[in-house]
Amino acid sequence: MDIMIFTGVLLLGGLINFLKEVDTKTVIRVSGIYIFIAWVSIIYTWIHLFIGINDADLQKVLSVFLQIISLIMYGTLGYLAAYIALNFQELTEQSQDAALQKIIRKTLRAVSIAIANTFMVVTLGKSLNMPYMLAFFRQSCYAVWFLYFVMGAEPLGAIGILFHSKLKTGPLATLGLIVVMLGAVYTHLHNHDPFSDSYEAIIQLINLSLLLLIYYYERQTSKKNSLTPVYITNENV
232 occurs within a structural domain: no
Does residue 95 have a pLDDT over 60? no
Which domain does 219 fall in, by range?
A: 3-227
Query: How many C-beta atoms surround the C-beta of residue 160 within 10 A?
Result: 22
The answer as to whether 105 is a domain residue is yes
Residue 2: the pLDDT is 76
Is 236 part of any domain? no
User: Could you read off the pLDDT of 161-192 as tens digits, one per residue?
Assistant: 999 989 999 999 999 999 999 999 999 999 99
Comparing 8-22, 27-41, 81-95, 153-167, the range with the smallest average pLDDT is 81-95
With a cut of 50, say whether residue 112 has pLDDT above it: yes
What is the model's pTM?
0.87
Evaluate whether 41 touches 63 at the Cβ level (below 8 Å).
no
Would you say residue 237 lies in a domain?
no
Structural domains counted in the chain = 1
Residue 58 lies in a domain: yes
Q: 127-141: per-residue pLDDT in tens? A: 989 999 999 999 999
Which range scores top for mean pLDDT: 49-58, 163-172, 215-224? 163-172
Residue 207 vs residue 220, higher pLDDT: 207
The whole-number pLDDT of residue 1 equals 57
Please tell me the predicted confidence (pLDDT) of residue 50. 72
Segment (H or E) for 37:
helix 24-50
> Domain for residue 37, yes or no?
yes
Buried b (16+ CB within 10 A) or exposed e, 189-222: eeeeeeeeebbbbbbbbbbbebbeebbebbeebe
Q: Is residue 235 part of a domain?
A: no
Stretch 40-56: mean pLDDT: 79
Q: What is the mean pLDDT of residues 87-109?
A: 79
